[in-house]
Structure 1
Amino acid sequence: MTVTARPEGTRRTQTERRARTRSALLEAAARGLSTYGYGNLVLERVAAEAGYTRGALYHLFANKEELALAVVQWVEETWDAEVGRPAAELTCPVEALTAVARNHAVYCRRDVARVMMTLKVEFAGQDHPVGRALARIRDRLVADFAERITAGRGSGAIPPGPPPGELALALLGALEGLTISLSGHAPHDAELAERAARGLLGLPPAPEGHR
């Protein structure tokens, strides 16, 4: 029996098509989760809004839980690319934390930004894979914020105050709440997010023209 190898171009096209389908479904699911929550999410509606059939969705995701976990990972990856990594390149802790505040506000201008907060509220107090994934992300961000706060206090750039871990939790909570409340109010959302961050850190507002 002779097996004919599939042309490399065909495999690449199929891989690209699968990636486009997956991306469209994740974005539609993120919008749906932001609007309806996990419990009220209808997979058929997600598929239709993405422009695909229910079969295409189930070909990539076994069930709602797997889809939601993939959405959480997708949001984490896009947030890291647009907010986390640019801030990580800044050596000054104050600049890094205020950059996170401003860039987080910009990231939250899109219609998928509420998904993490919506899921966090829905799964609060529950031992569920989606809740555990959200807790892992929260713990990672809090640890990163706390490390920068500690470094800033060590250099004198950030004044003494509450323990770094508690301040980091407050900073994360403030940014989440503020940017959701001010969604659609650009450019004031980014400016006020930075003000909130500087205020919690015990810093004066940034001078005009510094931003």
Structure 2
Amino acid sequence: MDVRKSSGADRAAGRDAARRPGAAQPRATQADRRARTRAALLESAARGLSRYGYGNLRLEQVAQDAGYTRGALYHQFTGKQDLTLAVTEWVLDTWWQEVGVFVERAPDPIAALLTLARGHAVYCRRDIARVAMALRLEFAGQDHPVGRAVEQGYRDLLDRCTALIEAAREAGAIPDDPDGPPAGTLALAYVGAIEGTSIALSGHAPHDAPLVARAAAGALGLTYDPGEHTDPGRTAHRRTTRREAS
């Protein structure tokens, strides 16, 4: 057997052959396969949780819908609670990638709040978006690890919205009536408007995003003209104005 090192020309020829159509691709590593399996199981479980809730979730069905066996599921997760906690984290991460990053890039607090509203409406077109709300309702008033994880995510969102509202008030973009609600209370109304309107408008794309933003603006004491901006990464902030005092 020839054990001499291949020349540079030989290595280049090998790379060219690998790039040719029909050439065999490098085999997926065990880590790659494990990551694909995990992602498929998480998405399947998210769909199941959004439709049936935690109590009625069947792990065998989750695995089957993902194209795997129940044994493959247990190779990744210790049980239903472990799987659901992982789904909760995965949904939050997905929301951040599809909505949160655009909120962070917004030029000012009002733009951020309206971007969040539109982006959340678009995100809620997917089954997985209903997971958090379904679990919040199911575990309301219970001391359960899943319920605590979901509530923590909700509190984090409220804290972020409260900070944006406070910044908008300081900038004079949101009315700051001395007798008006605290920023935290206004954040509750804002988040409630977003969630409630997104649910009510399920299946009504593309009108859902501007209408959810309009409802959110109303909760903040603003008027809103969505114009032509339907992308969650863009904002119609220039058309957002303070309501005239009656």
Tell me the TM-score normalized by structure 2. 0.79
Aligned match of 2:98 in 75, 78, 82? 82
Residue 193 (structure 1) aligns with: 212
Q: CA deviation at 1:209?
A: 4.2
Aligned residue number for residue 23 of structure 2: none
Distance 1:207 1:108, change over 3 A: closer
- Percent identical among aligned pairs is 60
Counterpart of 1:124 (choices 133, 136, 140) is: 140
Counterpart check, 1:165 vs 2:181:
no
Give 1:177 shift. 1.7
Kindly indicate whether residue 218 of structure 2 is the aligned counterpart of residue 204 of structure 1: no
CA distance in 1, matches of 2:187, 2:104: 16
Matched with 1:139 is 155
Measure, in 2, the Cα distance between the counterparts of 1:36 and 1:207.
Answer: 35
1:55 to 61, 71, 77: 71
Distance 2:188 2:152 in 1: 14
What is the distance in 1 between the residues matched to 2:221 and 2:142?
35
Q: CA deviation at 1:208?
A: 3.2
Aligned to 2:202: 183
Please list every run of at least 4 consecutive aligned residues from structure 1 whose deviation after the TM superposition is greater than 4 angstroms.
Answer: none
Deviation at 1:206, TM superposition (A): 2.3
Q: SS of the residue aligned with 2:128?
A: coil
For structure 2, the 5+ residue unaligned runs are 1-25, 230-235, 237-246
Change (3 A) 1:207 1:55: closer
- 1:74 & 1:207 partners in 2: Cα distance? 30
Deviations 1:103-148 (A, max 9, x none): 0000011121111111000000000001110111111111110001
Deviation string 1:153-173 (CA, Å, 9 cap, x unpaired) is 001011123111011112112
Q: Give the Cα–Cα distance (whole angstroms) in 1 for the partners of residues 121 and 207 of structure 2.
A: 9
For 2:222, the aligned partner's letter is L
Cα displacement (A) at 1:74: 0.3
**Change over 3 Å in CA distance of 1:209–1:55 after alignment to 2:** closer
Matches within 5 A, 1:39-118: 39-118=55-134
Query: What is the Cα deviation at residue 83 of structure 1?
Result: 0.8
- The separation in 2 between residues aligned to 1:109 and 1:156, in whole angstroms, is 33
Question: Is residue 41–residue 73 contact of structure 2 (8 Å, CA) maintained in 1?
Answer: yes
User: So what's the TM-score if we normalise by structure 1?
Assistant: 0.92
Cα distance in 2 for residues equivalent to 1:90 and 1:108? 20
Q: CA RMSD in A?
A: 1.4
